[in-house]
Amino acid sequence: MTTNQQPTQKPPPPTFSLTYPPSLESYNLPMRVWLTTNSKSWDGLATSALVFDRRNRVLLLQRAAHDSMPLLWEAPGGAVDDEDASLLIACARELWEEAGLEAVEIVRVVSEGKGKEPGSELTNRKGTVVWRRFAFEVKVQQAEGEELAVQTDPEEHADHVWASEEEVLRERVGEKDIPITNAQMASLILDGFRRRREEAVEGERKVVQG
C-alpha cells in the first residue's frame, strides 16, 4: 500500500520512553561518549529504524526529488545529534521527525547480513568524511485495531510504502517500482526480516528516556 502525504503540521517531538533489551546497552550512550568508549575516530553516527506492521511489512520512505539520491527508497533515519541522550533516542527522534511515528521499543540491532557486525560505513563522494550507520528494529505506538498513520514532510520525502520481504527483493510494490538507495540499505532491510524469522526476542527489558 502506498499513500501520498499532504503537508501536515506535526506536534513537537514527545519525550520518548523506550524499552530495550540488555544486549543493546552499549548503544544507550550519547554519540561522543560512544565514539570515545569504542575508540573510534569516525566523523559521526547515523541510525535507521526498521518498523514492521502487523502484516510483517517494513516501512520505506521515498526521498524527495530535490534531495540527493532523488526518489529512491530507504528506511527512516538520519544523523545522531550531539544533543541526543543516546543512539537509541536518536533513532526514535529521527523516526518521529521523518514518519511521525512514536517509538516505544528498540527490539534489536541489525547488520548487513548473517555473521556481519552492526555498523555500516557511510562516506562522502571523496571518501574524506566517514560515518557509521546503526540500524534497529523499532516498535511504535499503535492503538488496537488501527493502522499506523505515517506523516512525512514533503520537503524531505515524496511518498511511503509498506513492503514485504519479497517486494523489497523485487523492488516493486504492486504497480510501483521502489528502487532502494543502495545495496547497503537493501542488505540492512533484508537482515531485519531475517532476524525476525530466526532470532527470539529477549525477555528482559531496560528503559531509557529522552
With a CB cutoff of 8 Å and minimum separation 6, the contacts of 167 are 57, 173, 178
What's the CA gap between 49 and 66, in Å, rounded? 23
Residue 126 covered by a domain = yes
Percent of the chain exceeding pLDDT 90 equals: 84
User: What pLDDT, on a 0 to 100 scale, did the predictor assign at position 124?
Assistant: 84
Residue 7 covered by a domain = no
pLDDT at 199 over 90: yes
What's the CA gap between 189 and 79, in Å, rounded? 18
Residue 47 covered by a domain = yes
User: What pLDDT, on a 0 to 100 scale, did the predictor assign at position 7?
Assistant: 47
Residue 8 covered by a domain = no
* 105-117 pLDDT, tens digit each: 999 999 999 999 9
What's the CA gap between 3 and 193, in Å, rounded? 23
Residue 173 covered by a domain = yes
* Residue 71 confidence class, pLDDT cut points 50, 70, 90: very high
| CA dihedral over 20, 96, 35, 44, signed as positive or negative | positive
Q: Which domain holds residue 38?
A: 23-209
User: What pLDDT, on a 0 to 100 scale, did the predictor assign at position 203?
Assistant: 86
Looking up residue 157, the CATH number of its domain turns out to be: 3.90.79.10
**Count of structural domains, the chain:** 1
